[in-house]
Amino acid sequence: MQIDQDTLDWLLGNAGPIIRYRTRVELLKELDDRKVESLKKDLLSDSLVRLWLGYLHPDFTTHVMHGSKSEAFENAMGKLYEFGLRKGIGALDEKTEPFRRWLAQQIDHPTVLPFFRTLVAAFLSMTGYSKEDAVNTWILKRLETVYRFAKKGDFEDIYIAQDTFPGFPKAFRHKPLLNPALQTQDGSVLPSIHDVNAFLHSAPVIEDTQLRRKVETIIDFILRPEYQRLYPGYGVVMLSGRYYSAGWSVHLPGYFKSDERNDHPYQFAIHPDQPTHPSLLLRLGLMSRSRTAREHEWFKRSLSMLESFRTENGLISLPRSFLPEKKAGYWVNGKRMALEPGRRGRKAITCESTFRYLEIAMKST
């Protein structure tokens, strides 16, 4: 896709340091080192960048690693990823060093839940550390585990009856129970959104033809209607005799058209057929990295929907519901989308909308 020069000029002239940096460095592939350093200096001086760098603390307790607060590792890292911070930027290297060390120490520790290793490895992969031994080792383990299941394409026996085992919580009665056979020592065989983030951002994976083919097989599995009709978040999992609410499935907003709604035996917590769900832009940005996804009707239809918000001067100006910024909420679910400060005016939203659209559309051609 060739970017209209007037659109670029407007974006670079009106956006803040984050969007200017990412537009120059990621979209336009700026090669002048002096210009890149100047842009980087402005980026690291930005109030949002400083704020979210401050939220990233080396606290490895579960409620700080994973949660809806700003201080949670996953939310701070998600925001810093979207701000364009990558390996080699000193401020990020310093902040992520304890987490990289933690993963190397805990990668085979039996008391650490696989989910937390995947969580840390995913965000480290996204921010450029995928070639580090511990990150790469865990990503390859997860890739093999998920690929073996996805290759079969078998959607039978994913769920079992709630009364199969004693003590199923009444609070979970509206959620299906996952078959314990889907759990391995490396985690569930079902792909999580964190797995897909890890795979599609991993240089060792994407640059290897065979490994890339395995990722595309997993994406094809996710794009099937049978997968998209699974309970969002997957449901309930039983681990060591205790029941937990599972989560982080790869459901795609807007996948089903209104006349394709499936009568599901459980009450949906998130409706995959709602195209304005705040995670849509994140899912499109992620899936734009996959050839299989870019060729799918869902992706093309969603991109066309974004284009319907084009203004007379060629910019994209989405409704605020696409770009929420909440005080509490998970980044991965699209609850923390701000790239610009001072978002009360329409200009900031138009800057964000236009940049996000270009980021997605440029990879689809």
Euclidean distance between CA atoms 264 and 20, whole angstroms: 44
Q: Which of 145, 11, 127 is nearest to 73 (CA)?
A: 127
Taking alpha carbons only, the member of 325, 272, 245, 286 closest to residue 75 is 325
Angle between the N-to-C axes of helices 90-106 and 114-126, in degrees from 0 to 180, rounded to the nearest 10 = 150
What's the pLDDT score for residue 259? 47
Over residues 265-278, the pLDDT tens digits come to 433 334 445 556 78
Is residue 281 within 8 Å of residue 349, measured between CB atoms?
no
pLDDT at 340: 96
pLDDT for the residue numbered 271:
45
Domain residue limits, the chain = 1-85+317-365, 99-274
**Predicted local confidence at residue 265, as pLDDT:** 41
pLDDT value of position 6: 87
Alpha-carbon distance of 303 to 360, in angstroms, equals: 8
- 16 by DSSP, 3-state: which? coil
Task: Give the global pTM.
Answer: 0.94
Choose among 88, 94, 11: nearest CA to 362.
11
Q: What is the distance, to the nearest Å, from the Cα of residue 99 to the centroid of all Cα atoms in its chain? A: 19
Mean pLDDT of the chain, nearest integer: 92
Q: What is the pLDDT of residue 277?
A: 79
Q: Please give the pLDDT value at position 270.
A: 41
Paired sense of beta strands 187-188 and 159-160, if any: unpaired
Cβ 76 vs Cβ 126: under 8 Å: no
Positions of the chain with pLDDT lower than 50, given as ranges: 259, 263-272
What does the pLDDT read at residue 258? 60
Q: What is the pLDDT of residue 275?
A: 57
